[in-house]
Chain A
Amino acid sequence: MQSGASLRRDPSLATALGGTAARHRRERIIGAVLLSAALLTVVVSTLIIVSLFGGAVDFIRQIDLGTLLADGWYPRRGEFGLMTLVAGSLLVTGIALLLAVPVGLLSAIYLSEYASRRVRRIVKPILEVLAGIPSVVLGFFALTFISPVFVQRLNPGTADFNLLAAGLGVGILTIPLIASVSEDSMRAVPAALREASYGLGARRLTTSLRIVVPAATSGIVAAVILGISRAIGETMVVAVAAGGSGGAKFTVDPFRQGQTITAAMASLATGTDNVAGATAAFQSLFFLGLMLFIMTFVLNQLGDIFVRRTRQQY
């Protein structure tokens, strides 16, 4: 894994260090300081898990569990209809993937199989810039551009705030991730496979779709899984463009307002919903955070497994 790994394990090295006792002591102190910095990352994740679980347990204890099945998510009225948020998250994620998977995959095939070196050198930084646009900016774009120019033309009479515009905004944010992970896996496919295909007389189209894409399947699956994880965790696009700031009714209609798990958290933390203290509405923040944490954690592990499989393949 690391280039210095074998140097480090070489026992003669530790004893070979000459010099005064002070020099030895300094080395030990520096090692200890660096180790404590590394352990701090463990502290951070422990604190995350402790605070999420603590708040979530308090929430479950406080509420009547029946309210979790309510027909809407109105935390200030004590209605915690979880299905509303889960449906919202799934809907937004689904819309995002419908946009990001085809666009991301096709871009990846182009960059890996068709593009000249010069095109790659120009296009890749531009994709990086798109990935670096703050999500609140994309939310504003979804609300003021995608919604009136695309959604309201598609279905006249739709309100400014709607889940479709939010989903498309999240999709735009997900394209660079899907493109770069799947491009990496396509470029990892050995040139010998391509050459064999061309040698049999196959064209570029056939080679790309029948040889490279199947050989890169693990990486493409990983790209889609990581894309789902990114889309589920995306907050600000939905918070700005999907409306439903006070709460939302259960809906699976993309032309309606709605909330996702993440947008509900942003909304709980802001404006009229600014809640603090030990109320159930406040504690529900941590319950939602825990749900989100578990979902993305599982997806990321799955994605990691597939990424690793690509690496081992060739």
Chain B
Amino acid sequence: MTTATRTLPRTIHKSGGAVWRGVLFHGLLLVALLFSLLILFTLITDVLMRGLPVLQERGADFLTRPTSSSPARSGVAQGIFGTLMMAVFVSVVAFPIGIMTAIYLEEYAPDNRLTRFINVNIRNLAGVPSVVYGLLGLSIFVLALGPLTGGRSMIAGGLTLAALVLPIVIITSAEAIRAVPRSLREAGYGVGASRWEVTRLLVLPNAAPGILTGTVLSLSRALGETAPLLLAGAVLGGFSIGGRSFVEQLFSDYTVLPVTIFDWSRRPQAEFRELTAAAIIILLVITLLANTIAIVLRNRYERSW
């Protein structure tokens, strides 16, 4: 009784300070959160302020010219072409293999040691730094398979990026497939459908939006990668495609937008700083466009079972 009456006023007395501490802490948390938003805002305005004048002044000329040693005549045509081709490679190679693997792991695989090993292995692959994938590309796709890929070629780069995003495609697709409710599968098997019929007719259509979102996000990640392609033979600086046909270009020199950005950011002339910012604007438009498409798709088809 006496202790209770003693502690009660003390807590009330203390609470003034506690309220202040609470407010201060709340403020601190807000500052931390706003810090990230502020950085993003600063980064985008800084790049826009440096790069937009170049885009306004040069216009289409900047988009259609190859890299050159003179800033006034340098453009990002080869980088854009390379980046779009990388998107094609990743879509054609990594998406089908990744989605097939996800289907296998979720719908077909028996629960045995091999399956567990494959699962652990995919998780580990997802954590390998991207520059290490560059070494895979260099030693396998550029050197060992050089006679087939043409060495430091667009194909070698495309395959490297495909290997890089494969684990991400698998993990996100597997999640989307797992989210399809079990009752749907049971209904399918109940009417005598085979495993593939259940997968194709019931599981995949319902998992498609989730799979699509994951693949588009992984694509945007791939298009922003620089380090693996530096190792897998993307060209820094100027090169000429000298009237090669489309197929010949697949087997020869290439570069991508992030590599162009890296190249220009190291040039001593001040004009290249502005060009770099302009190239960054174009890269951000491409990757943010992919991200936005993914988020819109997710919101549009999001379904709760």
Contact = CB atoms under 8 A, between A and B. Distances in A.
Chains A and B come from one and the same complex: yes
Contacts of A214: none
A109 interface: yes
Interface string A258-297: 0000100110011100000000000001100100110011
A41 B170 contact: yes
Given A26-B196, A44-B166, A296 B108 contact: no
Nearest to A295: B129
B21 A205 contact: yes
A204 B21 CA distance: 11
Interface stretch (A30-38, A79-87, A90-98): A30-38
B291 A175 contact: no
A179 B234 CA distance: 34
Interface stretch (B52-60, B64-72, B179-187): B179-187
Contacts, number: 273
A40 B101 contact: yes
Given A129-B291, A134-B224, A123 B130 contact: no
Given A45-B121, A129-B288, A296-B129, A266 B227 contact: yes
A145 B265 CA distance: 13
Contacts of B139: 51, 54-55, 286
Nearest to B123: A304
Nearest to B117: A42
B269 interface: no
B258 A239 contact: no
Given A37-B100, A48-B128, A107 B43 contact: no
A37 B258 contact: no
Interface stretch (A3-11, A216-224, A249-257): A3-11
Nearest to B29: A110
A30 to B, nearest CB: 5
Of A4, A7, A52, the most chain B CB neighbours within 10 A belong to A4
A109 B27 CA distance: 12
B124 interface: yes
Main secondary structure of the interface of A (DSSP, over half): helix
26 contacts: A4-B107, A4-B185, A7-B182, A7-B186, A34-B103, A34-B104, A41-B121, A42-B121, A44-B163, A106-B33, A107-B29, A107-B32, A132-B287, A136-B226, A137-B224, A140-B265, A140-B276, A145-B43, A204-B26, A205-B22, A233-B129, A239-B227, A262-B227, A265-B135, A289-B131, A289-B132
Interface of B: 11, 18, 21-22, 25-26, 28-33, 35-37, 39-40, 42-43, 46-47, 50, 96-97, 100-101, 103-111, 117-118, 121-125, 127-136, 138-140, 163, 166-167, 170, 178, 180-182, 185-186, 189, 192, 194-196, 217, 220-221, 223-227, 230-231, 236, 258, 261-262, 265-266, 273, 276-277, 280, 283-284, 287-288, 291, 295
Given A51-B140, A140-B277, 18 more contacts: A5-B111, A8-B111, A17-B192, A19-B194, A26-B196, A34-B108, A35-B104, A38-B104, A41-B166, A54-B139, A127-B36, A128-B295, A133-B284, A140-B276, A145-B46, A205-B25, A235-B131, A292-B131
